[in-house]
């Protein structure tokens, strides 16, 4: 069962399965991964060189210029998503200006591949730092990293205390002092945020999402979701499904 849940989770993140379902635009997944501060997954998604991505539209009949246009769009979208995730406007746009200028000066596709990878990992790293910026203790930062990397499992205080090498009671007090909420509440909040993305960007049922995120049952997941969001998963999906702020006509396959 544990391995099955892990596979479901990786399927949602990586979208490599051939299971029939409504398409999840790969570029939206890519931007969301960066926004979440998942550096490891960002590196994984950058394994395929930017110049070899499928679905790049024709914005210029000159091959190099075409790639430059697409990279500029990608950088702009990454900045936009990171701003939505809490990055300061000045930082997000300042970074985009730097990378867009580098893109303009690129001499070949290899240069663009390197700029794409560097920019995406840079933004993801900054988002990862941002979510931990108020956390000063190394032990708590390590906890946060563990939580984000294991949302598809049942995360307990005991498991976290073993992971960081601290007494459970002490860790709980330290965590609440630095984060402002209990470990249980923090884990639950992050799982609900992930569930929101899954409801909007996939056609997984509530039962599947409950399984993927290791909730005890579908009914418990629905109850917690409604408590935190103010509506049921079904109603949330109905009102937000595919609501990304990017119309279908603007998808260029950039990521």
CA distances to 12, 17, 18 from 21, in Å: 11, 10, 9
For residue 90, the surrounding DSSP H or E stretch is helix 89-105
Token pair in block for residue 69: 């246009």
Cβ atoms of 212 and 169 closer than 8 Å: no
What is this structure's pTM? 0.55
Local confidence pLDDT in tens for the 255 residues of the chain: 445 555 555 555 543 333 333 333 455 678 888 988 888 889 988 998 988 877 778 888 999 999 999 999 999 999 988 998 889 888 999 999 999 999 999 999 999 999 999 999 999 999 988 877 666 678 898 898 888 888 889 999 999 999 999 999 999 999 998 888 999 999 999 899 888 888 877 778 999 999 989 999 999 999 999 999 999 999 999 887 545 443 333 344 566
Q: Tell me if residue 54 falls in helix, strand or coil.
A: coil
The candidate with the shortest Cα–Cα distance to 219, out of 227, 229, 210, 228, is 210
Cβ atoms of 70 and 56 closer than 8 Å: yes
Sequence-separated (6 or more) residues with CB below 8 Å from residue 187:
147, 151, 155
Instruction: Tokens 């049952």: give the residue.
Output: 217
Q: What is the C-alpha to C-alpha distance for residues 199 and 203, in angstroms, rounded to an integer?
A: 7
Q: What is the fold, at CATH topology level, of the domain defined by 133-240? A: Arc Repressor Mutant, subunit A (1.10.10)
């Amino acid at each position: 069962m544990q391995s099955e849940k892990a596979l479901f989770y990786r399927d949602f993140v990586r979208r490599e399965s051939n299971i029939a379902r409504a398409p999840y635009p790969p570029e939206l997944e890519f931007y969301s991964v960066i926004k979440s501060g998942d550096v490891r997954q960002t590196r994984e998604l950058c394994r395929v060189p930017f110049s070899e991505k499928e679905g790049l539209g024709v914005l210029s009949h000159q091959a190099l210029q075409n790639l430059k246009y697409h990279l500029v769009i990608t950088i702009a979208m990454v900045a936009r998503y990171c701003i939505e995730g809490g990055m300061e406007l000045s930082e997000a746009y300042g970074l985009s200006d730097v990378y867009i200028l580098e893109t303009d000066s690129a001499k070949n596709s290899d240069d663009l591949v390197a700029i794409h990878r560097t920019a995406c990992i840079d933004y993801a790293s900054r988002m990862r730092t941002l979510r931990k910026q108020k956390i000063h203790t190394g032990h708590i930062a390590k906890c946060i990293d563990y939580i984000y990397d294991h949302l598809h499992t049942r995360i307990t205080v005991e498991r976290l205390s073993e992971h960081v090498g601290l007494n459970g009671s002490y860790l709980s007090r330290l965590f609440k002092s630095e984060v402002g909420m209990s470990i249980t509440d923090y884990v639950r909040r992050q799982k609900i945020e992930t569930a929101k993305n899954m409801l909007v960007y996939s056609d997984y049922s509530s039962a599947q999402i409950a399984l993927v995120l290791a909730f005890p049952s579908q009914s418990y997941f629905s109850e917690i979701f409604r408590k935190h969001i103010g509506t049921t998963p079904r109603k949330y999906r109905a009102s937000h499904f595919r609501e990304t702020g990017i119309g279908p006509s603007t998808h260029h396959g950039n990521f």
